[in-house]
Each structure stands twice: as C-alpha cells, then as structure tokens.
Structure 1
Amino acid sequence: MPKLKLGPLIDEKPVKITVELPASLHRDLVAYGDAMGREHGQGAIEPYKLVVPMLERFIATDRGFTKLRRSQTAG
C-alpha cells in the first residue's frame, strides 16, 4: 500500500464553516479516510476531519504561494 501524504491528525478546537462538496469529492474523501484509518491502525476517518489537514498540506507545498507570502512579509 502506498504511503499517504497526510500523517496522523491533530485534534484541535475547530472553527465551524459550511462547505458544499460535489458528491464525487465526498466519495473520494470517504475512501481516503478509510485508507488512512487502515494505514494508521485506526477506524475510518470521517471526511470532515480530512479537509483541514489536506488544505494545510496543499498550502504548505504550494511554491507560488510560499514565494508570494515571503515577498509580502519582506516588503
């Protein structure tokens, strides 16, 4: 089984927002949560718990965004 990009989830106090997802993306999140639970020896992870770490990972690995942030804080 390939290693997933996300590691174990940290349980933090959330800020509530409402987001509508396409059904296909929800199905993918459910499948990802199942795979992640198996990889880390847990039960299936609920899709809503995956959204924040996925967005954090996306932002952290976006080189264009990192450059933009650096230029804004340097100037």
Structure 2
Amino acid sequence: MTKLRLGSIADDKPVRLTVELPAAVYRDLVEYGRILARESGQAEIAPAKLIAPMLARFMEADRGFRKQRRKASADVRASPDPV
C-alpha cells in the first residue's frame, strides 16, 4: 500500500477560485485522486477537491512561510493601538 501525503479530504465550505493548470498537472491530479480514493476507500475524488488540501499541506511544511507568518503576527501584536 502506498503512503500518500494527503489523508481523507474534509468537507468544508469552499471559496470559489478559478485557476489554469498545465494539462500534465491536471492529469496527475486526476491520477492522485484515483489512488487516494482507492487507498482511503472513498469514492473517486475530483481534482478540484485535492488542490486546497495539497496547498495547505505545502504551506504547513514550508519553514520559511511559517517563520514569516509568525513574525508578521508578532509584529501586529507588538504595534501600538491607534488613538
């Protein structure tokens, strides 16, 4: 059994976003959805359902992004309130 980076896909209220993908990326998403569905016992997963969890996983794993986000949050908390 293959260990994929994504687990089951949460059913969350979506925000509509239109993107253009290279055909090869789309084909890979279709195949990833088939494999993930087979591994998790879910029905076939549409490519659009994979993009958000993949991006979230990517951002969680990006140390530079996490560091900058923490820094930005600290800067906002440290700034004085306007009078």
TM-score by length of 1: 0.94
The one-letter amino acid of 2:8's match is P
TM-superposed CA distance for 1:66, in Å, is 0.4
Q: Which range moves more in the overlay, 20-29 or 41-50?
A: 41-50
Equivalence for 1:10: 10
The residue aligned with 2:56 is 56
% identity of equivalent residues: 56
Q: CA deviation at 1:26?
A: 0.2
Aligned partners of 1:7, 1:42: CA distance in 2, in Å?
A: 11
Poorly superposed stretches of 4+, deviation over 2 Å: none
Task: Give per-residue Cα distances to partners, 1:7-29, cap 9 Å, x unaligned.
Answer: 11111111111111100000000
* Structure 1 gap segments, 5+ residues each: none
Give ranges in structure 2 of 5+ residues lacking alignment.
76-83
Q: Once the 2 structures are TM-superposed, how far is the Cα of residue 43 of structure 1 from its aligned partner?
A: 2.3
1:1-75 → structure 2 map (5 Å cutoff): 1-75=1-75
Structural RMSD (CA):
0.8
- Paired residues in the alignment total 75
Greater C-alpha radius of gyration: 2
Instruction: State the Cα distance separating 1:2 from its structure 2 match.
Output: 2.0
Letter in 1 for 2:23: A
